């Protein structure tokens, strides 16, 4: 009886040890270890996970933050999706790290130039996946995910170029947006880059400038945008030397959320050209908000309230006397200014009011709105607004005056 019970306890403890070892693993070792669709690597701080996840109808090897698989911030096979769950990541006996799957050619991430016997790949607490040669005196870094960004900019990641014009240690010096929310292929319309000449961040749409941050002014702000230190303690860096010119940012490692988690920042370039900090929910680039302080809209329950904030560094409006009648407005955003006359102001009001018509048939579709905004033609006045208020006072027994013979009429006046 006792030996049987002891065996059961031993098996249970061994099972618990194996499960905890698998769940807490953060390193892939050469010759034997492999990462499959059913397994993951988890950083020691438990904030980052490397594994296979499905996006749409395909499987991708990626890294995600805080158990959010819906949009990994890094993808290994972004341009080579796997149709099924057959993907396997491993480091072979020669030190080569590759991704294999059924029905396709292997995706080779690193090819060893010499025989190596102690190659490891670890998921660090920063979210960086690093391939190292443990036998070298300085544990030489052979490859790291932070050098191959997809659509997300992380602390410590570099955007920039070598002086010769060659991208920094990778095939790209910029972020590239996904094609859509579920299609991460590198064919999106927008890129996020560091302009080494203007010393500014730039969003481009099909190689045409779409948004700029303005020149870097300090380690906390650009000309056209800044980040609120009350939200996260950001620091910006630009290093320009004989070999490279790059931009990077950092977040104070000593900041914690009210829930006790360490703060982390991820700037995601959305497929529509907006840069959003995924951990604070704030839009920091693109046409939605030309600066910082604008919180990204999200679905909220009926018990939540919207706050009126005064710290939004977006588009500014001020009155200005710019004609004979001393009327008109000046719209400004960063270094860009445009004077608008009274007619132009009325033009925008008509378009905006037309978009809020009570009847859906009367509302313009988006293509009509764009056409109206870009046209200088006189627009017809809209109908009565959908939302209006009026007060009607009805007396229960109104006083009446008159005469029986309809000959005379007396009119009362207030005194």
Q: Tens place of pLDDT for every residue, the chain, 415 residues?
A: 445 665 665 565 554 544 444 444 999 999 888 999 999 999 998 889 999 999 989 999 999 988 888 899 999 999 999 999 999 999 998 889 999 999 888 999 988 877 777 899 999 998 999 999 888 777 788 999 988 899 999 988 889 887 665 555 555 578 999 999 889 998 899 999 999 899 999 999 999 999 898 999 888 788 887 666 655 677 889 988 888 889 998 887 645 454 555 567 889 999 989 888 887 777 776 554 544 445 544 444 444 444 444 444 444 444 444 444 444 444 444 434 444 444 554 554 555 555 555 666 566 665 565 555 555 555 566 665 555 555 554 545 555 555 545 454 555 545 4
Q: Are residues 141 and 170 in the same domain?
A: no
CB-based contacts of 67, cutoff 8 Å, min separation 6: 49
**Does 309 map to a domain?**
no
Neighbours of 106 (CB within 10 A): 12
Residues 6 or more apart in contact with residue 344 via CB below 8 angstroms: none
Distance CA 87, CA 411 (A): 94
**Same structural domain, 113 and 207:** no
Q: What is the pTM of this model?
A: 0.63
On whether residue 71 sits in a domain, the answer given is: yes
Please name the residues in contact with 184: beta carbons below 8 A apart, sequence gap of 6 or more: 55, 60, 75, 78, 150, 151, 178
Q: Are residues 234 and 164 in the same domain?
A: yes
The answer to the question of residue 395 being in a domain is no
Claim to verify: residue 154 and residue 284 sit in the same structural domain: yes
Q: List Cβ neighbours of 380 (8 Å cut-off, separation of 6 or more).
A: 350
Same domain? For 142 and 184 the reply is no
Both 153 and 269 in one domain: the answer is yes
- pLDDT for residue 291: 45
For residue 10, how many other CB atoms are within 10 A of its CB? 10
- Identify whether 78 is part of a domain: yes
What pLDDT, on a 0 to 100 scale, did the predictor assign at position 173?
A: 77
| pLDDT given for residue 141 in this prediction | 87
The pairing of beta strand 140-144 with beta strand 244-251: unpaired
- Domain for residue 230, yes or no? yes
Question: How many Å apart are CA 350 and CA 262, to the nearest integer?
Answer: 48
3-state secondary structure of 211: strand
Task: Identify the CA nearest to 253 among candidates 229, 234, 266.
Answer: 234
d(CA 386, CA 392): 19
Output Rg (C-alpha) for the chain, integer angstroms. 31
Longest CA pairwise span in the chain (Å): 122
- The domain boundary, picked from 111, 146, 181, lies at 146
Give the domain-ending residue among 94, 117, 146: 146
DSSP for 285-329 reads ESSS-SSS-EEPP----TT------S---S-EEEE---STTS--E
CA 200: distance to chain centroid?
A: 18
- Cα–Cα distance measured from residue 305 to residue 159, given in angstroms and rounded to the nearest whole number: 38
- Based on the domain organization, do 142 and 156 belong to the same domain? no
Could you give the CA distance from residue 206 to residue 400 in angstroms, rounded to a whole number?
A: 75
Which residue from 159, 157, 184 is spatially nearest to 174, judged by alpha carbons?
159
Distances (CA, A) of 71 to 62, 148, 176: 9, 17, 14
- CATH number, residue 120: 2.90.10.10
Q: How far is it, in rounded angstroms, from Cα 225 to Cα 242?
A: 29
Q: What are phi and psi of 151, to 5 degrees?
A: -120, 10
User: Do both 293 and 159 map to the same domain?
Assistant: yes
| Contact predicate 94/115, CB 8 Å | yes
User: What is the spatial distance between Cα 78 and Cα 332, in angstroms, rounded to a whole number?
Assistant: 39
Query: How many domains does the chain contain in total?
Result: 3
Domain boundary pick from 146, 170, 188: 146
Residue 126 DSSP label: T
3-state secondary structure of 403: coil
Are 132 and 215 contained in the same domain?
Answer: no
Tokens of 383: 């109908």
Q: Residue 22: its pLDDT value, please?
A: 44
Residue 365 is assigned to a structural domain of this protein: yes
Domain housing 350: 316-374
Q: What b/e string do you get for 243-278 counting C-beta neighbours within 10 Å, with b at 16 or more?
A: ebbbbbbebeeeeeeeeeeebbbbbbbbbebbbbbb
Please name which of 149, 148, 130, 150 lies closest in space to residue 140, comparing C-alpha atoms: 130
Query: Taking the C-alpha atoms of 109, 113, 119 and 123 in order, what is their torsion angle to the nearest 10 degrees?
Result: -30
**The pLDDT of residue 140:** 85
Same domain, 48 and 71: yes
Within a domain: residue 390?
no
């Amino acid at each position: 009886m006792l030996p049987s019970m002891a065996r059961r306890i031993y098996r249970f403890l061994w099972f618990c040890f194996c499960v905890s070892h698998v769940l807490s693993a953060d390193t892939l070792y050469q010759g034997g270890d492999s990462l499959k669709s059913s397994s993951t690597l988890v950083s020691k701080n438990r904030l980052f996970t490397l594994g296979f996840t499905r996006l749409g109808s395909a499987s991708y090897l990626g890294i995600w933050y805080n158990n959010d698989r819906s949009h990994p911030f890094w993808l290994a096979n972004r341009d080579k999706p796997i149709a099924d769950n057959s993907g396997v990541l491993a480091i072979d006996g020669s030190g080569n790290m590759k991704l294999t799957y059924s029905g396709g050619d292997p995706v080779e991430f690193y090819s060893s130039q010499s025989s190596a016997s102690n190659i490891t790949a670890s998921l660090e607490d920063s979210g960086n996946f690093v391939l190292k040669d443990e036998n070298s005196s300085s544990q030489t870094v052979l490859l790291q995910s932070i050098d191959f960004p997809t659509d997300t900019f992380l602390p410590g990641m570099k955007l920039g170029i070598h002086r010769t014009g060659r991208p920094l240690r990778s095939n790209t010096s910029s972020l590239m947006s996904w094609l859509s929310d579920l299609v991460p292929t590198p064919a999106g319309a927008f890129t996020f880059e560091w302009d080494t000449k203007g010393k500014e961040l730039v969003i481009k749409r099909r190689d045409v400038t779409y948004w700029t941050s303005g020149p870097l002014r300090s380690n906390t702000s650009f000309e056209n945008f800044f980040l609120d230190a009350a939200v996260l303690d950001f620091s910006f860096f630009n290093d320009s030397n004989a070999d490279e010119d790059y931009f990077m940012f950092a977040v104070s490692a000593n900041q914690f959320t009210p829930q006790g988690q360490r703060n982390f920042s991820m700037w995601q370039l959305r497929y529509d050209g907006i840069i959003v900090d995924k951990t604070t929910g704030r839009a920091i680039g693109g046409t939605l908000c030309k600066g910082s302080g604008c919180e990204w809209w999200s679905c909220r329950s009926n018990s939540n309230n919207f706050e009126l904030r005064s710290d939004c560094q977006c588009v500014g409006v001020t009155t200005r006397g710019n004609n004979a009648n001393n009327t008109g407005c000046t719209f400004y955003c960063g270094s860009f200014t445009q004077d608008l006359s009274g007619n132009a102001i009325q033009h925008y009001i008509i378009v905006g009011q037309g978009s809020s018509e009570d009847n859906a048939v009367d509302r313009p579709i988006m293509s009509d709105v764009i056409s109206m905004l870009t046209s200088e033609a006189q627009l017809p006045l809209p109908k009565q607004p959908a939302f209006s208020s009026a007060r009607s006072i009805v007396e229960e027994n109104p006083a009446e005056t008159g005469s029986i013979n309809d000959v005379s009429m007396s009119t009362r006046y207030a005194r």
